[in-house]
Amino acid sequence: MPDDTAVVRDVASRRPPAVPTTSRRPGRPRVAREIVDSMQGDIAQGRLPLGSRLPSERELARHYGVSQPTVREAVRALDVMGLVDVRHGSGVYVTRDISSYLTSTFQTLLQVERVGILDVMELRTLLGTHSARMAARRATAAEIALMQTFIDASQAANPSMTPREIVRAPVSFQLALTAASGNPLLFAIESFLTKVVVQVQLDVWDGRPSQFWCDRIAAFDGVRSRIIACVAAHNEEGAVRAVSGYLENQYELFRSEPELAGFGVTDPVAMARALDEMFEVPEVRLQR
């Protein structure tokens, strides 16, 4: 009877062309958890590139030496983790936006550790000032131009728009600023925190007229202009001061509003709504 090494070598020689991007199959017992770990490592190491299509269930089952239901269970787990996108009728793809993986992890952390919205705001302020410094140091002309388009869109907001439409541009400005830092981990974390903070406001102030939201974002028009001016001039200290004031002002607003300060992000229902109903914003990605 051949040894395990010979078996693996034989299976590798018969492996379908679509599968060599994956690492060697896990040892016995071959369970869904091991497949998840193996594929997670393949994604992290770039053997399964972001946006790439996974082999079929049958090919993966042959590759790992397991049944198709076991592969299906592993893929379902990867989908829940945010590492793959299941597109019915098309196949399963490695996510293009790895931040969705972090979102799932952060959601669990906030619930388990009973984190409050003011805790979220404090971390947002800390990270935001650092990303402002990095953006002022690294931002390209294209990234600065993108931020300016979002500022222009913010200033064009009007009461005929819905609250989500009104806040989309200023939120996109914040995400574009973070993206200009050039740090993918910082971008992923800040994107999550920013969207949660904005979603909390939309939940708490649900039913407020559109004019309320127009007035709210207009109050920060000046500081957004100062931020982009400092970034464009590569004025790191100026950018830090402008963003620090911007975020500290937001923190004080949350702290002074009982409805906002007392919002329980650890409430499973509220947290699920804050993440599942997160509005679409214009695509902002790291350019590096």
Question: DSSP states of 76-142 as a string?
Answer: HHHHHHTSEEEETTTEEEE-S-THHHHHHHHHHHHHHTT--HHHHHHHHHHHHHHHHHHHHHH--HH
What is the per-residue pLDDT for 177?
95
Query: Residue 3 pLDDT > 60, yes or no?
Result: no
Query: pLDDT-based confidence at 270, cuts 50/70/90?
Result: low
Average pLDDT, the chain: 81
State whether 9 and 138 are in the same domain.
no
215 within domain boundaries: yes
282 within domain boundaries: no
Query: Residue 236 pLDDT > 70, yes or no?
Result: yes
Domain end, chosen from 94, 113, 135, is at 94
Q: What is the mean pLDDT of residues 257-264?
A: 77
33 within domain boundaries: yes
* 258 or 245: which leads in pLDDT: 245
Rounded CA-CA distance 258/132 in Å is: 29
Rounded CA-CA distance 152/2 in Å is: 69
Q: 86 φ, ψ to 5°?
A: -95, 115
Query: pLDDT-based confidence at 287, cuts 50/70/90?
Result: low
Q: Which of 69-83, 92-106, 131-145 has the lowest mean pLDDT?
A: 92-106
State whether 194 and 267 are in the same domain.
yes
Domain count along the chain: 2
Query: Residue 124 pLDDT > 70, yes or no?
Result: yes
Q: Which residues of 206-242 are buried (b: 16+ CB within 10 A; e: fewer)?
A: eeeebeebbebbeebeeebebbbebbbeeebebbbbb
Domain end, chosen from 44, 73, 94, is at 94
Query: Residue 225 pLDDT > 70, yes or no?
Result: yes
Nearest to 191 by CA among 204, 172, 205: 172
Query: pLDDT-based confidence at 7, cuts 50/70/90?
Result: very low
Query: Residue 152 pLDDT > 90, yes or no?
Result: yes
pLDDT digit string (tens) for 157-171?
999 999 989 999 999
pLDDT digit string (tens) for 22-64?
555 544 445 788 999 999 888 888 888 888 999 999 999 999 8
Q: What is the mean pLDDT of residues 16-22?
A: 45
Looking up tokens 């019915």 gives: 88
What CATH number is given to the structural domain containing 183? 1.20.120.530
Neighbouring CB atoms inside 10 A of 58's CB total 11
Rounded CA-CA distance 98/49 in Å is: 11
State whether 188 and 254 are in the same domain.
yes
Query: Residue 268 pLDDT > 60, yes or no?
Result: no
Looking up tokens 């974002």 gives: 217
* 285 or 34: which leads in pLDDT: 34
pLDDT digit string (tens) for 163-222?
989 999 999 999 999 999 998 888 888 888 888 888 888 888 888 999 999 999 999 999
Q: What is the mean pLDDT of residues 108-123?
A: 75
Query: Residue 18 pLDDT > 70, yes or no?
Result: no
Domain end, chosen from 75, 94, 113, is at 94
288 within domain boundaries: no
State whether 104 and 70 are in the same domain.
no
Domain encompassing residue 105? 100-276
